[in-house]
Amino acid sequence: MRDETKHPWVLGGLRIARSLLARVDEHACAGYASGEESCGLLLGPAGDAPLLDAIVPMVNRARALHEMDPETYPRSARTYFDLDPLKFARAVDQGEAAGRPVKVLYHSHLDVGAYFSETDAAAAKMGGEEPAYDLAYLVTSVKAGGVDDHKLFVWRPDMRAFALSELRVEG
């Protein structure tokens, strides 16, 4: 599915306004206070591929899934996030159709740092060999209730792995 011409944000080097990143941070801190990872989407205009200018917070279903069936879903929302796949796919399709594509899937890590875990990579690949969607991935680290780091990751086909990419904060 990777199409660098149509979805150049997969190459990284994205830009985000400080005020928008503050909203990601607020969501991450609220998740921390609730004992769960936050998650959501960052969008921007198709005509300015590196620009992120809108946020769509999503519900982390991990707690509900774990409580419903802890054997099938052994991880808690503190160490895992789960998006509603239909809402996620709908947001991607609607953004693409409106010229305001989803460019980044974001989530937080609680008390462990901003890194792209094996679980994060497996979720992005959805059982395949490479990511199922043309997205970049932002991880926000929250420690002791405050944000201490952000890192942006992109899929590198040449390495067959996710790699760190630049995220420029503006304003």
pTM: predicted TM-score of the whole model, two decimal places: 0.96
Residue type, 87: K
Domain ranges of the chain: 8-170
Residues (pLDDT < 50) of the chain are none
**E strand residue ranges, 18-145:** 39-43, 51-52, 54-58, 102-110, 136-143
Tokens linked to 138? 């932002």
- pLDDT tens digits, one per residue of 81-105: 999 999 999 999 999 999 999 999 9
Separation between Cα atoms, residue 19 and residue 169, nearest integer Å: 9
Separation between Cα atoms, residue 171 and residue 158, nearest integer Å: 34
In this prediction, residue 136 carries a pLDDT of 98
Please say whether the beta carbons of 77 and 66 come within 8 A: yes
In degrees rounded to 5, what are phi and psi of residue 160?
A: 55, 40
In this prediction, residue 161 carries a pLDDT of 95
Q: What is the CATH number of domain 8-170?
A: 3.40.140.10
In this prediction, residue 18 carries a pLDDT of 97
In this prediction, residue 1 carries a pLDDT of 61
